[in-house]
Amino acid sequence: MVNYREKIAEILAEAGTGLSYEELLDTIEAPVDKSMGDYAFPCFKLAKAMRKAPPLIAKEITEKIADNPLFEKVEAVNAYVNVFISKEAFLHSVIGEVIKVGDNYGRSTQGEGKTVIVEFSSPNIAKPFHIGHIRSTVIGNAIYKLYDFLGYNTIRINHLGDYGTQFGKMICAYRKWGKKEDVEREPIKTLLSYYTKFHEEAEKDPSLNDEARAIFAALEKGSPEEVALWKWFREESLKEFNRVYDMLGISFDSYAGESFYSDKMPRILEELEAKGLLQESQGAQIVDLTEKGLPVALITKSDGSTLYITRDIAAGVYRKEHYDFYKNIYVVASQQNLHFKQWFTIVEMLGYDWAKDCVHVPFGLVSLEDGTMSTRHGRVVFLEDVLNRAVEQTKQIILEKGVNTDQTEETAKIVGIGAVIFQELSNNRIKDYTFSWDKVLNFEGETGPYVQYTHARACSVLRNAGDSAAKIGDGSKLDMHYLRGDAAFELARMIYEMPNVIVDAAERYEPSVLTRHVVDMAQAFNRFYHEEHILVDNEAEKEAKLALVSAARIAIGNGLGLLGIKAPEKM
């Protein structure tokens, strides 16, 4: 497909502006107001070298490039050269390219030979997989899909929270109040009730905390009884987690959690010691980061047990040596900003130059309408409950509205779960938000169901076109002069921009950039659909319009797929 910004830079370079191709490329703008052109070149930079007023320079450049067949017209407006590209040539280029590559539209090879690790979701074993986990889960999955689409060898890691003092508390609670049959019947909710009870009882009897610490110390030393209970809790939890992941259509390449690195931490402690970074403080071991503008980092507690930071350093070293990553991305809540700054800094102090390739992608927190969530106090909204309720609500809407589908259950699942994911990815990831059933289950406006319905509408148009849709071919022989309306051109422009949007969303680790663009494409398609009569009698006109419908269907479907959302053909 023609890269118009690059082509315009080449044409301007040949016109003798005095600027290099790279400088011209950086200077060319895309006006928000399309009455000012599809692209604009400001001439202010040329004034000093050419010793002329910018408006006069703009006029001279306009005269030199106005006859180029790539342009419909070129105007000098004050100090700007405003370029309007040929609509017919543009439509041929865009529609032809999209139809030719189909589901690969927007895909690239820019990441070939480079490995990107994306760590996301990472719930704690024996604790609820709640609505708070959805942010890391769906943001991380979208980032994985974006990098994979751009040709990177992308590894999905679920760094399970399967280690730490909470397991001492859980084992302690189970031994005092637990029943095996209750855990087997409903693992997470039962284990949560034990964990909640432990904290209630520990407030009355603080010695329980000492007992839990002793149990975790025994677990770290490999005590058979503690290890057997820990493994059982892990296996039962994963059964429930995987049920939710299956609903979301998400899978992982590795479930190596914190426990995986337990035998890799002595090496890290030795390296810290050898570098003179480890200090003793009240029986604990620390790294002093105050000269780096950060607080002291606690590496081991006074009882010798390790912490998150120790395990994360060991995990980082292992991943570099095992995967030789180009980027190591952590999709973790903004609450952990300091933690990541500390351990990235320690890795750098150890002399590992790959510390700069570790990226923390923070996101805002989810709270409930009546306050923050608390696992300790049992105040959570289970993610599985949210997804099931969204599916059930969608099913009711389908039945009430008599939606044209012969697969009510499957459509309800695709649309209901898609609505939850889309809502999560619609806003800038760093924003905090309050979970609301009304917002999640509202299918009106700029929502996932709206975009999915648009995709289904495009599919319906193509089905209703019958043989005419089959005649589109690769789009090369179609007469695009029939697509004269502004709505058609605007839709094609949105489709054209999508590959750049995919790159931008990946580089900014911001799926909402793509979400916004997918909504814009859906709105542009619906304007085209309402303003143009597509299935007209004139066969040549019909085929041209159907080609644009087909390109829109592909682009919208690909966009939804990159967000982790299915695109139904009937709805």
Confidence at residue 374, expressed as pLDDT on a 0 to 100 scale: 58
Both tokens of 521, joined, read 């494409």
Output the CA–CA distances (angstroms, integers) from residue 282 to 206, 277, 301, 310, in the order listed.
22, 16, 9, 18
The Cα 470–Cα 473 span in angstroms is: 7
Name which CATH class applies to 4-85. alpha beta
Q: Are 128 and 244 in contact (CB under 8 A)?
A: no
The amino acid at 515: T
| Percent of the chain that is helix, strand, coil (3-state, to 5) | 60, 10, 30
Mean pLDDT per block of 10 residues along the chain (571 residues) reads 92 90 94 92 91 95 95 96 94 94 96 98 88 93 98 97 88 95 89 91 94 90 93 90 95 94 92 96 94 95 83 97 98 96 98 98 82 58 89 89 80 94 92 79 82 95 93 85 93 96 98 97 97 95 96 98 96 82
- Cβ atoms of 524 and 489 closer than 8 Å: no
How far does the chain reach from its first CA to its final CA, in angstroms?
32
Q: Where in the sequence numbering do the catalytic residues fall?
A: 127, 130, 133
Distance of alpha carbon 511 from alpha carbon 501, whole angstroms? 10
CATH code reported for the domain at 400-425+435-562: 1.10.730.10
Neighbours of 264 (CB within 10 A): 15
For 309-329, b/e burial (b = at least 16 CB within 10 A) is bbbbbbbbbbbbeebebbbbb
Residue ranges of the domains in the chain? 4-85, 400-425+435-562
Please tell me the predicted confidence (pLDDT) of residue 375.
Answer: 56
| Spatial distance between the Cα atoms of 56 and 78, rounded to a whole number of angstroms | 8
Question: Which residue, chain included where needed, has tokens 């859906």?
Answer: 522
Instruction: Provide the 3-class DSSP secondary structure of residue 73.
Output: strand
Q: What is the 3-state secondary structure (H, E, C) of 288-307?
A: CCHHHCCCCEEEECCCCCEC
Strand order in the sheet with 284-287: 278-281, 284-287, 297-300
Place of tokens 């990226």: 359
**Do the Cβ atoms of 559 and 514 come closer than 8 Å?**
yes
Token digits of residue 544: 């041209």
Contact (Cβ atoms closer than 8 angstroms) between residue 248 and residue 387: yes
pTM: 0.91
For residue 254, the cross-strand partners are 157
Kindly report the number of other CB atoms within 10 A of residue 109's CB atom: 9
- The answer to whether the beta carbons of residues 70 and 32 sit under 8 Å apart is no
**Sign of CA pseudo-dihedral 392, 397, 400, 402:** negative
The per-residue pLDDT for 377 is 55
What lies within 8 Å, CB to CB, of 132 at 6+ separation is 365, 366, 373, 380
* Alpha-carbon distances of 462 from 335, 482, 550, rounded to whole Å: 48, 18, 7
Task: Give me the residues paired with residue 335 across strands.
Answer: none
The rounded distance, in Å, linking the Cα atoms of 184 and 195 is: 16
549 three-state secondary structure:
helix
H/E element, 169 = helix 165-177
Strands 433-435 and 366-368: parallel
CA dihedral 58, 62, 63, 65 (to 10 degrees): 140
- Residue 128, judged by CB atoms within 10 A of its CB (0-12, 13-18, 19+), counts as buried
